[in-house]
């Protein structure tokens, strides 16, 4: 099987740029920035710890030339997310990815690990697509086996809603075999942060 490709969609952890919903719900842009730094750091570390190719799809474009130490390392290949909404940006990544297993992740799930990414790749050996469900009805990882005629599953998806994973799944071919990974928490607002912290006690 071809080498897997992992695409990270992220913004640099800058106040007013990333985690704006979290900042509003916490009432603290500074705390939101610290959380964004933590989740991005964990995501990048996990993503660079295995036998797959990792590409960071950054936004905005000026983030492509920024350096934030080990959180946003210089040696990590970076590409622009491009213009448009999240569907357009995910489609850009899908179109640019080579054939073979392709996985999409954000930088919101602090419990992501190299073991879970390897599990996703193994799942794609047996399935056409795989989801890592998030507690809020979205997903922390989505992967599929890209072929020359693979159609995008990202159209007409109700992003940032409890239906996001369900909508992407509904866009897959009827005969697609789908694998499921463990559910993780995406930290999007203060409630998510409280739930995640409570899970660590």
Backbone angles phi, psi at 101, to 5 degrees: -65, 125
d(CA 39, CA 33): 10
Domains and CATH numbers, the chain: 5-199 (3.90.550.10)
d(CA 110, CA 114): 12
Report the SS3 class of residue 18.
Answer: coil
This prediction's pTM: 0.93
Measure the CA angle with vertex 76, ends 97 and 192; round to 5°: 85
For 45-88, what is each residue's pLDDT tens digit? 999 988 999 999 988 777 666 655 556 677 888 999 999 999 99
- In the chain, pLDDT over 70 holds for what percent of residues? 93
For 118-161, what is each residue's pLDDT tens digit? 999 999 999 999 999 999 999 999 999 999 899 999 999 999 99
Reported as a pLDDT band with limits 50, 70 and 90, residue 194 is very high
Report the candidate in 113, 112, 77, 115 with the shortest Cα–Cα distance to residue 97: 77
Name the token pair of 155. Answer: 């159209």
CA 177 and chain centroid, separation: 21
Mean per-residue pLDDT of the chain = 91
Half-sphere exposure of 78 (CA within 13 A, CB side): 20
Q: Are 199 and 110 in contact (CB under 8 A)?
A: no
Instruction: Kindly give, in sequence order, each residue whose CB lies less than 8 Å from that of residue 198, ignoring residues fewer than 6 positions away.
Output: none
Q: What pLDDT was estimated at residue 63?
A: 65
DSSP code, position 4: P
């Amino acid at each position: 099987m071809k080498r897997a490709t992992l695409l990270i969609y992220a913004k640099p952890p800058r106040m007013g740029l990333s985690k704006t919903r979290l900042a509003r719900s916490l009432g603290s842009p500074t705390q939101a920035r610290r959380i964004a730094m933590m989740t991005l750091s964990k995501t990048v570390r996990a993503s660079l710890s295995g036998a797959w190719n990792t590409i960071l799809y950054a936004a905005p474009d000026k983030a492509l030339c920024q350096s934030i130490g080990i959180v946003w390392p210089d040696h990590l290949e970076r590409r622009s997310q491009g213009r448009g909404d999240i569907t357009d940006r995910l489609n850009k990544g899908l179109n640019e990815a080579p054939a073979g297993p392709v996985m999409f992740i954000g930088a919101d799930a602090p419990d992501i690990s190299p073991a879970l990414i390897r599990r996703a790749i193994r799942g794609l050996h047996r399935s056409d697509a795989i989801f890592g469900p998030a507690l809020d009805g979205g997903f922390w990882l989505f992967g599929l086996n890209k072929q020359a005629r693979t159609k995008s599953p990202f159209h007409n998806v109700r992003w940032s809603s409890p239906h996001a994973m369900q909508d992407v799944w509904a866009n897959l071919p009827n005969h697609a075999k789908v694998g499921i990974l463990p559910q993780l928490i995406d930290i999007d607002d203060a409630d998510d942060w409280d739930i995640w912290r409570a899970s660590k006690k």
